[in-house]
A and B are shown apart, each in its own frame.
Chain A
Amino acid sequence: MPTPFLFHFAQAHNEFRLPELSSICELHGIPFSLSKNPQSNDPNRPFMVIELENEEQARILAKRCILIKAIYEFYGQGSTYEELHEENRKSEPLWRKYVENTSFRFLITAYQHKIPQSRQRDVMESFAYMGFLGKIDMKNPEITLTCFEDYEERTGVTRVKHEGDGDFRQVFFGRLIVDGSARALIGKFDVKKRVYYGNTSMESEISLIMANQTLAAPGKFIYDPFMGTGSMAYPTAHFGAFIFGSDIDGRQMRGKQKEPGVLRAAKQYGVASRIIDLSTFDITHNPLRCGEMFDAIVTDPPYGVRAGAKRLGRKKSLPDYKKELTRQHNLNGRPDDQPYIPPTKPYELSHLARDLVLLSRYLLKPGGRLVFFLPTVTDEYEEVDIHTMLCEGMEVIANSLQDFGSWGRRLVTIRKVTKEKYPPPTFEPAPNDQDTHIPAHKDFREKYFQGFRSSKSESVEPEGQEQDSGSDAQQ
């Protein structure tokens, strides 16, 4: 029978809460449904009431979801204490068994507010009708009952102490089932404590959420095509998956010591044996012999602010006679030659995103997921931007914004919904690029360095010029 549970979420990355929850529910086959009450089904509030089948499922979720602080057996809620007590009385069958002889602790707390001690005592006494006879034990109680008052966001406003006390949106009451233990992983994977990282390494909390979006689990095979310093690999491997990583620039994966940096960091986390292999190649010229190999592809593509994406080739390709010269030189190299480093050219973000989806459709098993970050200009973003990069057989299942003000990045999760086999992508630019919708993430690098000044209407026409001036600057 579906039972309501009170979820207390960490007040961070609101848009990521439900996608993460539904991913972990899918991974463990847990059916869930949100409350019908608009006061307890808003994913922007820290407290939500969600129905599960049993307590065991709540424990599974709290062990794996990074954004869950704790889960409670739900006894009641209300916009006033009268409403709360009325619901709580109806929940008596749930708490009656603790009345007789169970040691307990009673906590009254609030979100965005501090309740004065005197009122805390009043609130506690208003629950006297429950008639708990067990010992009060603040240190090691058998059960913890918690009452949460949820106040409106009031950050940045000066106010007198305790102003607006009791003026909460909603009050919730329940019995603690389990504290969210996955949040401790944020500290474990802290980039600052990692033995090897780079200036574009992904912060640990987000990389853990991404790992959850991939449904990482033992026996799964997961690929990162822009491996870099491996930020995505460690949490994913921590959850049991095997990882294959590639990058066009091997130096990122290697670091300066003999033992590759990615492996050293993986050892630190005890997951080195799950890093199946690392390889230097350009995804647009990749050596993978077959498709449908991976359960998920997870990556943070370089978008050009601190590091730009590159692909093999030259902006202006060489005349044939020069190509022939390089070929001859390669064939008849002298033993003291430095290792050959092929030329690269910039890989524009909207092309990269579209290619990544096509490549994923080829490399993923049916039902597999592509999880990646896409930067975007906040004012210009439109829902349709995401759809410009989709192709047949690939469907967006989550799209959550991490807002940095004038720009933001979207964590996009795409599922391969087709069983059909597709050929490997050609990585050619799409035909008639001009007619199609121009997504806000196109030429993100240029827009970033211009401070996102050009408004949408202006940017459409001088697009060509912008690009020209951009490439001139780089030559």
Chain B
Amino acid sequence: MVRLITHNVLACHAKNCNTNNFPLQFKDVKVEHREAEFNADFLKGFLPKLEWKALVDTAKELGDTSLPDEQPEMLDDEFLQNLHHVLLEIHVEEGSMTCPNCGHVYPIFNGIPNMLLAEHEIG
């Protein structure tokens, strides 16, 4: 787990870390690919929520270059299949995510990211 759909909605939330706190940078990752159910309506519904550039860049880092740099206006089947694969079928199982701004490291164990903040990072 830690699929890219989740990575795309997680931002660093430490106290006073409000700018340049997204996307979190993957480090030392172990990636697995697992098949997921394709649902075109779900993908289309989620599209407006995505930060497209962050998604494309992160996918590239993990070796998937199937997505276009600009979000297309026409959502053809091939595009949706690629989006499905990137969002739902790439799992980061181990590693960490680092905030580009404050440097907080969010570790990932057995596919579950620990997004808890330290005492000095909360209000």
Contact B41 A260 (CB under 8 A): no
Residues of B within 8 A of A340 (CB): 118
Residues of B within 8 A of A288 (CB): 9-11
Residues of A within 8 A of B22 (CB): 289
Distance in angstroms from A287 CB to nearest chain B CB is: 5
Roughly how many angstroms separate A248 CA and B117 CA in the complex, as a whole number?
11
Roughly how many angstroms separate A254 CA and B112 CA in the complex, as a whole number?
8
Residues of B within 8 A of A274 (CB): 37
Distance in angstroms from A254 CB to nearest chain B CB is: 6
Residues of B within 8 A of A220 (CB): 42
Contact B6 A330 (CB under 8 A): no
Per-residue B-contact encoding for A264-303, CB less than 8 Å = 1, 0 else: 0000000001111111111001111110110000000000
Contact B12 A287 (CB under 8 A): yes
Is A374 part of the contact surface with B, judged by Cβ < 8 Å? no
Contact A218 B119 (CB under 8 A): no
Contact A279 B113 (CB under 8 A): yes
Within 8 A of A (CB), among B95-118: 106-107, 109-118
Q: Are A342 and B9 CB-contacts (below 8 A) given A273-B34, A278-B111, A285-B122?
A: no
Contact B120 A330 (CB under 8 A): yes
Residues of A within 8 A of B49 (CB): 290, 292-293
Distance in angstroms from A311 CB to nearest chain B CB is: 9
Roughly how many angstroms separate A273 CA and B35 CA in the complex, as a whole number?
7
Roughly how many angstroms separate A342 CA and B46 CA in the complex, as a whole number?
33
Contact A278 B112 (CB under 8 A): yes
Roughly how many angstroms separate A288 CA and B13 CA in the complex, as a whole number?
8
Contact B42 A313 (CB under 8 A): no
Residues of A within 8 A of B34 (CB): 273
Distance in angstroms from A284 CB to nearest chain B CB is: 9
Is A250 part of the contact surface with B, judged by Cβ < 8 Å? yes
Is A339 part of the contact surface with B, judged by Cβ < 8 Å? yes
Of A142-150, A196-204, A320-328, A461-469, the one touching chain B: A320-328
Q: Which of B45, B112, B119 contacts A279 (CB 8 A)?
A: B112
Q: Are A339 and B107 CB-contacts (below 8 A) given A250-B114, A312-B117?
A: yes
Contact B117 A260 (CB under 8 A): no
Contact B3 A277 (CB under 8 A): yes
Roughly how many angstroms separate A274 CA and B38 CA in the complex, as a whole number?
11
Closest residue of chain B to A275, judged by CB? Answer: B1
Is B83 part of the contact surface with A, judged by Cβ < 8 Å? no
Closest residue of chain A to B113, judged by CB? Answer: A279
Distance in angstroms from B9 CB to nearest chain A CB is: 5
Distance in angstroms from B13 CB to nearest chain A CB is: 5
Contact A289 B88 (CB under 8 A): no
Q: Which of B13, B45, B119 contacts A314 (CB 8 A)?
A: B119
Residues of B within 8 A of A287 (CB): 10-13, 106, 115
Is B47 part of the contact surface with A, judged by Cβ < 8 Å? no
Contact A282 B116 (CB under 8 A): yes
Closest residue of chain A to B10, judged by CB? Answer: A287
Is A21 part of the contact surface with B, judged by Cβ < 8 Å? no
Question: Count of B residues near A, CB < 8 Å?
Answer: 39
Roughly how many angstroms separate A274 CA and B35 CA in the complex, as a whole number?
11
Roughly how many angstroms separate A289 CA and B39 CA in the complex, as a whole number?
23
Residues of B within 8 A of A280 (CB): 112-116
Contact B9 A258 (CB under 8 A): no
Distance in angstroms from A191 CB to nearest chain B CB is: 22
Closest residue of chain B to A320, judged by CB? Answer: B120
Residue among B39, B117, B118 with max Cβ neighbours from chain A (10 Å): B118
Contact B118 A342 (CB under 8 A): yes
Per-residue B-contact encoding for A330-363, CB less than 8 Å = 1, 0 else: 1000000001101100000000000000000000
Q: Which of A218, A293, A324 contacts B9 (CB 8 A)?
A: A293
Q: Are A327 and B110 CB-contacts (below 8 A) given A244-B6, A276-B6, A289-B22?
A: no
Distance in angstroms from A255 CB to nearest chain B CB is: 10
Is B36 part of the contact surface with A, judged by Cβ < 8 Å? yes
Roughly how many angstroms separate A242 CA and B49 CA in the complex, as a whole number?
16
Contact A324 B113 (CB under 8 A): no
Distance in angstroms from A41 CB to nearest chain B CB is: 37
Roughly how many angstroms separate A323 CA and B118 CA in the complex, as a whole number?
10
Distance in angstroms from A433 CB to nearest chain B CB is: 19
Residues of A within 8 A of B117 (CB): 282, 285, 312, 342
Q: Which of B6, B39, B110 contacts A258 (CB 8 A)?
A: B110
Distance in angstroms from B59 CB to nearest chain A CB is: 16
Closest residue of chain B to A293, judged by CB? Answer: B49
Within 8 A of A (CB), among B1-42: 1-3, 5-6, 8-13, 22, 34-37, 39, 41-42
**Partner-A contacts on B (CB < 8 A):** 1-3, 5-6, 8-13, 22, 34-37, 39, 41-42, 45-46, 49, 51, 88, 106-107, 109-120, 122
Closest 3 CB pairs of A and B: A281-B115, A277-B6, A327-B120
Of the A-B pairs whose beta carbons lie under 8 Å apart in the complex, a sample of 11, sorted by A's number, is A218-B42, A250-B112, A273-B35, A279-B112, A279-B115, A287-B115, A289-B9, A289-B10, A313-B122, A314-B119, A323-B119
Known: A219-B39, A220-B42, A342-B119. 11 other contacts (CB 8 A): A254-B109, A258-B110, A260-B110, A276-B88, A277-B5, A279-B6, A279-B115, A285-B122, A288-B9, A293-B9, A323-B120
